[in-house]
Structure 1
């Protein structure tokens, strides 16, 4: 082997080693950020509990916010081409409502929202007054879904650019909020969805949940007969 060839091989080996070290470092950083995404929200919840493995995805947070059981999940949206990846948080308020079906509001629909039930809701309804366009308001059955008038308390929430979706159904209410947009350089060069220290904003979640509670009050809770009444 000539000295020149040996030199080239040494340079290549050093480059491969450097890339491997860089990759391991980036992976450790990604795991760390995923593990801490709910750091600011956890203290706001009673009975807060994190489940899941940050090595393979974002944790799921459950607990009680103002006495109501909630679940918060992080969604990485890197499906749409020519658009930076987005990190969303889906917050579900668990509440048995007197709703015959689902009513859903999707802001800025693209047709690629894999985290949304919108694609399975064939009936499009007129948007409530004050809700900015573009928007799709939809349900499975107009005869069973709540009236769009129940969404009146959510007008300002839906006008917020950080709000992607609001939904109402028999088992509760949900909202999808923007947490962060992906790093442009990482996405353009390596198609990696990298987010700079993403943290779920507890105040934004608390405000959204308060609005959902108002919407739920308009729908009404399921009334169950007391035990022993024979009803």
Structure 2
């Protein structure tokens, strides 16, 4: 009798685990479908675009914006303990710049920026008071002086935005890392599911940051031309 009850209890427990597993799988599949549409509302800003699915949390988008090739890469922040993790957007302009080096500016560094390669640059430099106070800046090669004045002027108000996390300028172009949103607190605290508060990138929001990146690349190009 006891053995039968024990067996029944185990069966009920296993059935409960199976139901929970199936429910969790269904929830995660729904989240994946919603993440797949992150670019649905903003593709209109590009003259042409295409999606790529590398097998990560989000698809990538490659497009042409004002004659420049652009790559958009959403990244969920899985690193470090936070009550509400962040969803970042990496905006890369593929534009050849006749620079003799690269500069990486990281704002409000917390030593958990998994998306940053700033530590690969050999020399740390210090920015002036016109830049946000809490920052890290590095250049490569050592001794190279980046066009910081032109960069700061081109960034304008975006340069002090709490959403702007990183700026990289190199001979290959411009890269910005911008915070799009946090994740839904209830889903994260209960299910540890990272469903972002913003499911689709707004077209005007994206256009703003694309214009910032474009202005930055143009200012650097002009500064190089004047210095030549």
TM-score interval, normalised by the smaller of the two chains? 0.7 to 0.9
The structural deviation recorded for 1:27 is: 1.9
SS of 2:133's equivalent in the other structure is coil
Q: How many residues align?
A: 222
With 99-108 and 117-126 compared, the bigger mean Cα shift is at 117-126
TM-score normalised by structure 2 residue count: 0.85
The structural deviation recorded for 1:185 is: 4.2
Cα contact 1:99–1:145 (8 A) shared by 2? no
Q: Distance in 2 between matches of 1:205 and 1:108?
A: 22
The residue that corresponds to 1:33 in the other structure is 34
4+ residue runs over 6 A deviation: none
The residue that corresponds to 1:93 in the other structure is 93
The residue that corresponds to 2:127 in the other structure is 127
Is the aligned partner of 1:144 residue 2:158?
Answer: no
Q: Distance in 1 between matches of 2:217 and 2:82?
A: 37
Q: Distance in 2 between matches of 1:34 and 1:52?
A: 12
The structural deviation recorded for 1:190 is: 5.3
Q: How does 1:111-122 map to 2 (within 5 A)?
A: 111-122=111-122
Cα contact 2:97–2:221 (8 A) shared by 1? yes
Gaps of 5+ in 2: none
Summarize the Cα distance change of 1:109–1:138 in structure 2 as closer, same or farther, 3 Å threshold.
Answer: same
The structural deviation recorded for 1:128 is: 4.2
Gaps of 5+ in 1: 224-231
Summarize the Cα distance change of 1:208–1:129 in structure 2 as closer, same or farther, 3 Å threshold.
Answer: farther
SS of 2:209's equivalent in the other structure is helix
Q: How does 1:70-89 map to 2 (within 5 A)?
A: 70-82=70-82, 84-89=84-89
The structural deviation recorded for 1:90 is: 0.3
Q: Distance in 1 between matches of 2:5 and 2:180?
A: 51
Summarize the Cα distance change of 1:130–1:204 in structure 2 as closer, same or farther, 3 Å threshold.
Answer: farther
